[in-house]
Amino acid sequence: MTELRFESRLFCDADEESRCMAGYDMEYQQLSRGYYRGRHSVARIGSDVSVNLERNNRTLIQSAVTPYDQYTLYFILNESAHTRLNGALFTHNHVFLCGPRTTWDTVDLTPSTPADDSPLGPHYAALSFDEAFFESQVLGCRSDSKVVSALRNKSLHYEDRKALGTLKNKVSDLMKCIEGNTDKGAHFAVGVRNSVAEILSDYIRNRLPFSAPSRRGGYSKPYRVVKRVREHIESQFDAEVSINLLCRDMNVSRRMLEYYFQDQMGVSPMAYLRSVRLNETRRQLSSDDHAHRSVGDIAAEFGFWHPSRFATYYRDQFGEMPSETRSRVF
């Protein structure tokens, strides 16, 4: 009988929730304003497959790197989601398969509801399985080193409404069963495990030979430009940032940069800059390593020189004052 273990937790801090998927180097940035609420549930099926479900009430940038010995099948359960994955539109009909050591990021552009603290955003599902499962259950007797090589450090983003519908139903049945404490969980767990193998086997059988797109070739220009700007901003938190200089370096007009950011991130470049700096301030306010420093000292490090203005920005972004963050953590 398949062993089944289940955990579910509620969170009021995005960084804390980002640590749920061990080994993925997850990083979250909260973009939309308001108090954060999230739920992360995981069902571990045997020793080789895990089903991770996540839902939250704020727009997040979620970045991750797949562990060196894992594959991940990523999709959205609900139909109302408006999400970008590595810059491309990602809907409830899309599947994202990433191999070991693949980097990826998502931005949920579904409008959030600041007045409601319940987790209402897209319901993300990430099915993680190890190399042994992929080679034995997916590739089976036709184990092909070309497939394994093609997926290492690469990803596949494709649409498969019919097969994905079957998997979604089985995942939903599994989680309802577990949360309802019924004795059918193991039965549905086997169904999920088999569906993952069938979906991937069918895809590989029908589409081989294939080559996963190169990192640069597979990304759109808006995504590449926005990613370069993000990297520049995040590497110089304490430096002055000139949008005009960024436009010159990226060889785009200011209007085009504004459009790219709205399209890819749902915010302007300056709103993104402030959001990132507020997120970093919050991390330091919550860190034992900076417990000896004052709130004003930490805020000034990230360019917030006026205490009252910083407090307003912080409360608008996170739904609480900086002092409340500190008192809750310590």
Q: Which residues contact 169 (CB under 8 A, 6 or more apart)?
A: none
Phi/psi for 240 (5° steps) reads -70, 140
Q: Residue 181: left (phi > 0), alpha (psi -120 to 50), or beta?
A: left
Q: What is the pTM of this model?
A: 0.86
Q: Averaged over 239-256, what is the pLDDT?
A: 90
Name residue, tokens 């220009």.
221
Half-sphere exposure of 128 (CA within 13 A, CB side): 23
Q: Which long-range contacts (CB under 8 A, 24 or more apart) does 197-200 make?
A: 197/133, 197/137, 197/138, 198/163, 199/73, 199/95, 199/160, 199/163, 199/164, 199/167, 200/73, 200/97, 200/134, 200/138
pLDDT value at residue 164: 85
Amino acid 279: pLDDT: 96
Q: How far apart, in whole angstroms, are the C-alpha atoms of residue 189 and residue 125? A: 15
The neighbouring-strand residues paired with 103 are 65
**With bands split at pLDDT 50, 70 and 90, how would you rate the model's confidence at 159?**
confident
What pLDDT score was predicted for residue 217? Answer: 47
Fold of 221-329: Arc Repressor Mutant, subunit A (1.10.10)
Residue-level pLDDT at 176: 82
Q: What is the edge-to-edge ordering of all strands in the sheet holding 38-45?
A: 4-11, 38-45, 49-56, 124-130, 70-76, 94-98, 155-159
What per-residue confidence (pLDDT) applies to 120?
58
**What is the predicted pLDDT for the residue at 210?**
45
pLDDT digits (tens, 9 = 90+) for 274-297: 999 999 999 999 999 999 999 999
> What are the boundaries of each domain within the chain?
4-207, 221-329
23 or 2, which is more confident? 23
**How does residue 81 score in pLDDT terms, banded at 50, 70 and 90?**
confident
What is the pLDDT averaged over residues 232-239? 80
What are the helix (H) ranges across the chain?
14-18, 131-133, 145-151, 161-179, 185-207, 221-235, 243-250, 254-265, 269-285, 295-301, 307-318, 322-329
CA distance 117 to 57: 7
Residue pointed to by tokens 């498969």? 160
Give the fold, CATH level 3, of 4-207.
Answer: Jelly Rolls (2.60.120)
Distances (CA, A) of 78 to 53, 59, 75, 81, 169: 12, 16, 10, 6, 11
| Nearest in space to 73 (alpha carbons), one of 133, 119, 15 | 133
The phi, psi pair for 224, rounded to 5°, reads: -65, -45
Which CA distances in Å does 107 have to 14, 30, 196, 263, 304? 14, 10, 25, 11, 26
pLDDT, tens digit (0-9, with 9 covering 90-100), for 213-231: 444 446 899 999 999 999 9
Three-state DSSP at 121 gives coil
